[in-house]
């Protein structure tokens, strides 16, 4: 065999052996996302907006564990809800206990309210919650298996003002993020008026062979939870639902008055909404007001705006007056909402909304040589302690690459220290826009920077 072929054979064998030696890479799970540094500016913005609004409206932040007893969700979210039936990450732990990764925040918050005796506090107790939740959903655009929610819950207030306040907060949240949304609103009544309505609804579906045209899930829902037939995402079911009797026509007097008052407050606040008779929400605990925040149809992806918006709701919530008692607490009215943070970020990206880059600094410290590096490490800490946003590249040696990083950091000035400046007791201040450099006394550099940039706030 010619030498050349032998060489090739050896090379191939070597590559094969090297591939076999390489460790198999383990990628992330389906429907789970990494949040990379570039993405964090969106998270920071949303967390800041959510925190500011919650604080202004008197909601206090709290958190609950990621893992809870499985029964907590079976009892609250509902044994007929998709979340519990199809989407829960549940397992038996080493002690044989059935536990679940939280698929939503509300049940844990209510458990905590009861467990910590928050009913003894002045009511309502207004809580702000932000964190990851887990649903074994079919992953697709805007649908993940781990995603995060911003929740507000107002516990202990039955008045329609509480519902309107929450809807108003969601509206301001999206308005301040420059996203156009349309609030969809409906009332699902109370246990007594809903009973009558459900009879009407069942009769409607039994008439004219409508039942046979439903999707398989809806055929089952008809027996277990007929209300859910109204918000099925399947086209054939939506067409039938459009002609179904409307629950608002069956509301008892108290539920009707409550709903009218909520709408009146929204009108007063100039908050646009769409009365949506098929909106019922997918969780079992709601009564009276239910709402969802949809991207306005102009912003929904082209094609089927209504369907797209329904499937990609940015948030949803409503009243759940029976839940606290049902979970073992005293009878306590409550309402709340949850907003899906990843979906909000997708919308901000789609709209190309310019964001303030929090990583940007005021100043960059550059050095030439090891003695200068040591000195600016000390100076860096002094300037940082004084409240300046200082950037640096201590590990770099080359001045050109440091100045490039200074440009990327968008700073106004770069302080440059080299061997000569150390000997003279000076430092250079370079204006990054004009490129003009001035020599200043090293001892006066902090005062000099304050003169140019103003004194930064030292508040923590
Ligand atoms: P939810 O409608 O199930 O309500 O979820 C709230 C929001 O979470 C949705 O509107 C959506 O933006 C987001 N979301 C839901 N599923 C996914 C997913 N697979 N991937 C990405 N985002 C998703 C609740 O969870 C209720 N606990 C809200 C509430 C609070 N009601 C009263 N208080």
| Banded model confidence at residue 318, pLDDT cuts 50, 70, 90 | very high
Best residue among 149, 185, 314 to mutate for probing ligand 1's pocket (most ligand atoms within 8 Å of CB) is: 149
Q: What is the mean pLDDT of residues 425-432?
A: 96
Cβ atoms 453, 412 nearer than 8 A: yes
Arithmetic mean of pLDDT over the chain: 91
Name the closest-CA residue to atom 14, ligand 1: 340
Q: Is the pLDDT of residue 1 over 60?
A: no
The gap from C-alpha 319 to its chain's centroid, in whole angstroms, comes to: 21
Q: Measured on CA atoms in the order 35, 36, 37, 38, is the torsion positive or negative?
A: negative
* CA–centroid distance, residue 150 to ligand 1 (Å): 9
Smallest CA separation from ligand 1 atom 22, residue: 340
pLDDT in tens, 262-280: 999 999 999 999 999 999 9
Distance (angstroms) between ligand 1 centre and the Cα of 446 equals: 50
Query: Which percentage of the chain shows pLDDT scores above 70?
Result: 94
Strand 67-69 and strand 98-101: the pairing is antiparallel
Ligand 1 is surrounded, with C-beta below 6 A, by: 104-106, 135, 137, 142-144, 147, 149, 151, 153, 313-318, 336-338, 340, 342-343
Whether pLDDT at 303 is above 60? no
**pLDDT on residue 301:** 47
Evaluate whether 370 touches 67 at the Cβ level (below 8 Å). no
Which atom of ligand 1 has the smallest separation from the CA of 339?
7
- Measured at the alpha carbon of residue 310, what is the angle toward residues 306 and 313, in degrees to the nearest 5? 130
Q: CB of 288 within 8 A of CB of 74?
A: no
107 CA: nearest ligand 1 atom: 27
In this structure, the residue with its CA closest to atom 18 of ligand 1 is 143
Q: Nearest C-alpha to atom 2 of ligand 1 is from which residue? A: 316
State which ligand 1 atom lies nearest to the alpha carbon of 317.
31
Which residue CA neighbors atom 11 of ligand 1 most closely?
340
Q: Which domains does the chain have, with CATH numbers?
A: 37-190+252-351 (3.30.930.10), 363-453 (3.40.50.800)
pLDDT of residue 164: 98
Ligand 1 atom 23: the closest Cα is on which residue? Answer: 340
Q: Enumerate residues 6+ apart whose C-beta is below 8 A from 236.
A: 213, 214, 215
Distance 151 CA to ligand 1 centre (A): 9
Which band of pLDDT confidence, cut at 50, 70 and 90, is reported for residue 212? confident
Strands laid side by side in the 363-367 sheet? 390-392, 363-367, 413-417, 426-431, 437-441
Ligand 1, atom 16, residue with closest C-alpha? 143
Ligand 1 atom nearest the C-alpha of 144 is: 20
Q: Name the closest-CA residue to atom 26, ligand 1.
A: 338
pLDDT in tens, 38-90: 899 999 999 999 999 999 999 999 999 999 999 999 998 877 788 888 899 99
- Protein residue closest via CA to atom 1 of ligand 1: 316
Residue with tokens 């859910």, as numbered in its chain:
228
Q: How far is the CA of 198 from the centre of ligand 1 (A)?
A: 25
Token digits of residue 70: 């499985």
Write the pLDDT tens digit of every residue in 153-211. Answer: 999 999 999 999 999 999 999 999 999 999 999 999 999 999 999 999 988 988 888 88
**pLDDT tops 60 at residue 403:** yes
Core vs surface per residue 20-39: b (16+ CB within 10 A) or e: eeeeeeeeeeebeeeeeeee
Judge whether residue 8 has pLDDT over 70. no
pLDDT beyond 70 at 5:
no
Task: Read off the pLDDT of each residue in 272-289 and give the average, rounded to a whole number.
Answer: 93
pLDDT of residue 367: 97
Q: Please write the tens of the pLDDT for every residue from 112-145.
A: 999 999 999 999 999 999 999 999 999 998 999 9
Shortest-distance Cα residue to atom 30 of ligand 1 = 337
pLDDT at 455 (0 to 100): 80
- Which atom of ligand 1 lies at the shortest distance from residue 139's CA? 19
- pLDDT, tens only, 218-247: 888 888 888 888 888 888 888 888 889 999
pLDDT, position 354? 84
Range with the lowest mean pLDDT among 21-30, 53-62, 413-422, 430-439? 21-30
Contacts of 245 (CB under 8 A, 6+ apart): 197, 200, 201, 204
Atom nearest to 135 CA in ligand 1: 19
Distance from residue 338's CA to the centre of ligand 1 (Å): 5
């Amino acid at each position: 065999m010619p030498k050349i072929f032998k060489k090739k054979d050896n090379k191939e064998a070597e590559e094969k052996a090297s591939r076999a030696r390489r460790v198999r890479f383990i990628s992330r799970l389906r429907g789970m996302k990494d949040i990379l540094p570039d993405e964090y500016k969106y998270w920071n913005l949303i967390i800041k907006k959510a925190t500011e609004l919650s604080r202004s409206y008197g909601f206090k932040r709290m958190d609950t564990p990621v893992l809870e007893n499985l029964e907590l969700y079976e009892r609250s979210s509902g044994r007929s809800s998709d979340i519990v039936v199809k989407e829960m990450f549940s397992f038996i732990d080493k002690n044989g206990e059935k536990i679940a990764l939280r698929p939503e925040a509300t049940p844990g918050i209510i458990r905590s309210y009861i467990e910590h005796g928050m009913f003894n506090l002045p009511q309502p107790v207004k809580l702000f919650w932000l964190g990851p939740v887990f649903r074994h959903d079919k992953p697709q655009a805007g649908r993940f298996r781990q995603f995060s929610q911003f929740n507000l819950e107002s516990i202990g207030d039955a008045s329609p003002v509480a519902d309107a306040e929450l809807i108003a907060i969601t509206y301001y949240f999206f308005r301040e993020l420059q996203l156009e949304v349309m609030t969809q609103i409906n009332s699902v009544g109370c246990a007594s008026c809903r009973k009558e309505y459900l009879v009407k609804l069942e009769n409607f579906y039994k008439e004219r062979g409508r039942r046979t045209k439903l999707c398989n899930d809806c055929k089952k829902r008809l027996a277990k939870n007929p209300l859910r037939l109204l918000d099925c995402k399947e086209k054939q079911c939506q067409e039938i639902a459009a002609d179904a009797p409307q629950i608002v026509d069956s509301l008892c007097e108290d539920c009707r008055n409550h709903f009218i008052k909520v709408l009146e407050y929204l009108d007063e606040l100039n908050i646009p909404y769409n009365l949506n008779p098929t909106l019922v929400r997918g969780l079992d605990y709601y009564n009276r007001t239910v709402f969802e925040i949809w991207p306005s149809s102009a912003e929904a992806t082209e094609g089927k705006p209504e369907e797209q918006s329904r499937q990609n709701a940015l948030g949803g919530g409503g009243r759940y007056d029976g839940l606290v008692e049902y979970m073992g607490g005293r009878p306590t009215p409550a309402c709340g909402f949850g907003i899906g943070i990843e979906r909000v970020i997708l919308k901000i990206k789609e709209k190309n909304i310019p964001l303030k880059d929090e990583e940007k600094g005021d100043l960059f410290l550059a050095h030439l040589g090891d003695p200068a590096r040591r000195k600016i490490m000390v100076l860096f800490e002094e300037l940082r302690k004084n409240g300046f946003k200082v950037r640096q590249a201590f590990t770099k040696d080359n001045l050109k690459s440091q100045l490039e990083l200074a440009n990327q950091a968008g700073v106004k000035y770069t302080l440059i220290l080299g061997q000569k400046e150390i000997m003279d007791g000076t430092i250079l201040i370079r204006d990054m826009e004009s490129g003009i450099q001035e020599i200043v006394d090293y001892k006066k550099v902090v005062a000099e920077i304050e003169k140019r940039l103003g004194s930064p706030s030292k508040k923590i």
